[in-house]
Structure 1
């Protein structure tokens, strides 16, 4: 299976604050294959962005994805995954390492930054995650 596209977003109200993760997976025709939201508790926005990526990668792998185009509105995370920036913050290093482990299970992948307007579905799911956490 190829041509799948993953959009992820993490959100933290207050940064750090109540956080959520969202991931939406689409096939080559643009049909949504999966949508996930997760309450993260209290964390930073960057940690939430990584947790959203991990959620999306796990979902794609569970569904048998081998080739994945990943789209995020976090320039920091994109540049770290591309190797253009080092991961300096200690809390992000294990999340980055886990992302690398999951990415290694794919036959091929790419990652690119998208404007927030093109990431609305993942943003919606991330906010649902926050709301789930606040209602628990």
Structure 2
């Protein structure tokens, strides 16, 4: 049952700490009612995996709630860029996570994914960091434990799944014994090859009314172009 035809807002954040990985989610309804979730991840993880788990868990919760229009906001530029096809994947594991997000996208009428500064995502970040605290779960927060990854990935389980956009000096964890040390590098550069330029898909659709051949990809593009506008041939969000 659809609970509302207006946009809900979802804030997501994943965190890797000494005690383990966890995620925080905050949903805000059109009537400004907040719903908060925290999930403890009990499997080998990394900061990027935790961010993807937060996004996927949030999408699944939204589907269960009957939400059909969702404005998603997170402070992981890397994950947002990968999902929006503005950045390439570092390895197959990240590609598998991104594909799961794309599959869940099709369950919504309208869905937007936007990057926001960390300072505007404090509520979700605080929930993620508090998940492993020994204190009681705060009133009104739904807490749970997840013992398996959200995706089935066939490959070596290791913590290094690519560059992370974790701020230098912020929550740099000492990795548990079952994880390799996560190396923090700069984010991968956005593809510059015109054939792979993500803007080309939008421009072809808006200027030449040329959608992708794949039906699902065409539907996804039609939803996303609503967030863009053309000004003198330049694409703006």
State the TM-score, normalized to the length of structure 2.
Answer: 0.51
Counterpart Cα distance in 2 of 1:86 and 1:29: 37
- Counterpart of 1:90 in structure 2 is 92
Of the structure 1 ranges 69-78 and 116-125, higher mean CA displacement relative to structure 2 is found in 116-125
Structure with the bigger RCO (C-alpha within 8 Å, sep 6+) is 1
SS at match of 1:97: helix
Q: How does 1:38-77 map to 2 (within 5 A)?
A: 38-41=39-42, 42-77=44-79
What is the rounded CA distance, in whole Å, between the counterparts of 2:80 and 2:124 in structure 1? 16
Q: Which has the higher helix share?
A: 1
TM superposition shift of 1:131: 3.6
- Tell me if the contact between 1:70 and 1:110 (Cα under 8 Å) persists in the aligned partners: yes
Task: Indicate conservation of the 8 Å contact 1:22/1:55, yes or no.
Answer: no
Asked which structure has the greater CA Rg, the reply is: 2
- TM-aligned CA distance change 1:105 to 1:116, over 3 Å: same
CA RMSD in angstroms, aligned pairs only: 1.8
Query: What count of residue pairs does the alignment treat as equivalent?
Result: 130
Considering fraction of residues, name the structure with more strand.
Answer: 1
Distance 2:41 2:94 in 1: 14
For residue 10 of structure 1, what is the aligned residue in structure 2? 14
Task: Give unpaired runs (5+ residues) of structure 2.
Answer: 135-143, 145-237
| Unmatched 5+ stretches in structure 1 | none
Q: Report deviation, 1:40.
A: 1.1
Q: In 2, are the aligned partners of 1:40 and 1:130 still within 8 Å (CA)? A: no
Distance 1:91 1:129, change over 3 A: farther
Matches of 2:9 and 2:37, distance apart in 1 = 14
| TM-score computed with the length of structure 1 as normaliser | 0.87
